Structure 1
Amino acid sequence: MAKVLSINISEIKGVIKTPISEGFFKVEHGLEGDGHAGKWHRQVSLLAKESIDKMIKLGVQDLTPGKFAENITTEGIVLHELPIGTRIIIGETIQEVTQVGKECHNGCAIKNKVGKCIMPTEGIFTRIVKSGVIRPGDKIEIMYQEKEV
């Protein structure tokens, strides 16, 4: 079963995020109080524990949820294989995948601290379609998935 491992927040973009007990995700905004939120296509960032585990196998130490600045750390779902347009139910929210991966900017705090960043290849971004609370342990379900052409 796919589930949420951690909800993570930071006041500014591009820094390591801190786990919180729950988060309110607002339509067309993202996680309230997070520096990454706003009216754009990358409102929420997600990264799978399985991706983090790859970095641990490469010898990177002290990797915990939020170290790659992801808002939601997941388990049991291959996020980077979800096509853009896929809708997923997470906790009380409905989210739509808007981007897979991203380019790390120069001086990326995560890359500088961790040595390498997995977000460019395996992180995904969503926009909030339906508001709600998400907590660690919440189930993740694919509601609608775009068919590949």
Structure 2
Amino acid sequence: MTVTDPSTLTPSSGTTASVVAVHASAVHGFSKPALDQVVLVEGVGVEGDAHAGVTVQHRSRVAADPSQPNLRQVHLIHGELFDRLAAAGHDVAPGDLGENFTTRGIDLLALPVGTRLTIGDAVVTVTGLRNPCQQINDFQPGLLKQLLHRGADGEVERLAGVMGIVSRGGTVRPGDAVDVELPAPPHLPLTRV
């Protein structure tokens, strides 16, 4: 399967995609506090974040095989998701789901694998979808079914954001623009990483 309409992947005319909040935490918790800025380290992730590393840092992945490359160095969620969750009766704010960046104005879930996002002076290459887990229901009962369900076509939809690796280090702050560079075709859809 390929992504068929790359024109839908970038902000619509007259809008600008941007970062609305940045988050990091040195401990393996669920939510992450908002910060004034974060520093991305090439090939590692967000400086000082528990999920930064060349190899996997997520506890379940470490338990399975600690030598795996870390394709989940950076977690991004589109802020529009919080609007959708509010309409379904959930109160979720930026950082609550453990993302490093909350964005607005870009459909992150529609990006193909290998998309390069220039954010501030850093570059994040999108690797795949976050796979929502039971911790989301522990945070707020019933929330998981809003982020992981079957679409009209029967396929599993994962709505909890995208993951990426740091391809160029730099500093990212709220208000920074997000510029999208699509990979060469064919555009492959994101799958869980």
Q: Tell me whether the two structures share a fold, i.e. TM-score over 0.5.
A: yes
Q: Select 2:73's aligned residue among 34, 43, 62.
A: 43
Aligned residue runs from structure 1 range 85-104, under 5 A: 85-104=114-133
CA separation in 1, counterparts of 2:86 and 2:127?
27
Shift of 1:81: 0.5
Work out whether residues 79 and 122 of structure 1, in 8 Å CA contact, stay in contact via their aligned partners in 2: no
CA separation in 2, counterparts of 1:66 and 1:83?
24
Shift of 1:79: 0.3
> For each residue in 1:69-108, what CA deviation from the matched residue of structure 2 results, as whole angstroms up to 9, or x when unmatched?
000000000001001111110111111001123141x4x1
Tell me what 2:176 maps to.
Answer: 138
Q: Select 1:80's aligned residue among 109, 121, 141.
A: 109
CA separation in 2, counterparts of 1:146 and 1:41?
20
Tell me what 2:191 maps to.
Answer: none
Return the TM-score normalized by structure 1.
Answer: 0.90
Tell me what 1:28 maps to.
Answer: 43
CA separation in 2, counterparts of 1:101 and 1:123?
6
Shift of 1:19: 0.2
CA separation in 2, counterparts of 1:98 and 1:33?
21
CA separation in 2, counterparts of 1:5 and 1:146?
28
Q: Does 1:121 find its partner at 2:163? A: no
CA separation in 2, counterparts of 1:58 and 1:146?
37
Structure 2: segments with no counterpart, 5+ residues = 1-15, 55-69, 149-157, 189-193
CA separation in 2, counterparts of 1:17 and 1:142?
25
Q: Which amino acid aligns with 2:86?
A: I
Structure 1: segments with no counterpart, 5+ residues = none
Return the TM-score normalized by structure 2.
Answer: 0.70
Shift of 1:12: 2.4
Q: Which structure has the larger Rg over C-alpha atoms?
A: 2
Work out whether residues 80 and 101 of structure 1, in 8 Å CA contact, stay in contact via their aligned partners in 2: no
**What is the total number of aligned residue pairs between the two structures?**
145
RMSD: 1.6
Q: Does 1:56 find its partner at 2:86? A: yes
CA separation in 1, counterparts of 2:53 and 2:22?
17
CA separation in 1, counterparts of 2:137 and 2:82?
13
SS at match of 1:129: strand
CA separation in 1, counterparts of 2:160 and 2:112?
12
Identity across aligned pairs (percent)? 31
Shift of 1:146: 4.4
Work out whether residues 112 and 182 of structure 2, in 8 Å CA contact, stay in contact via their aligned partners in 1: no
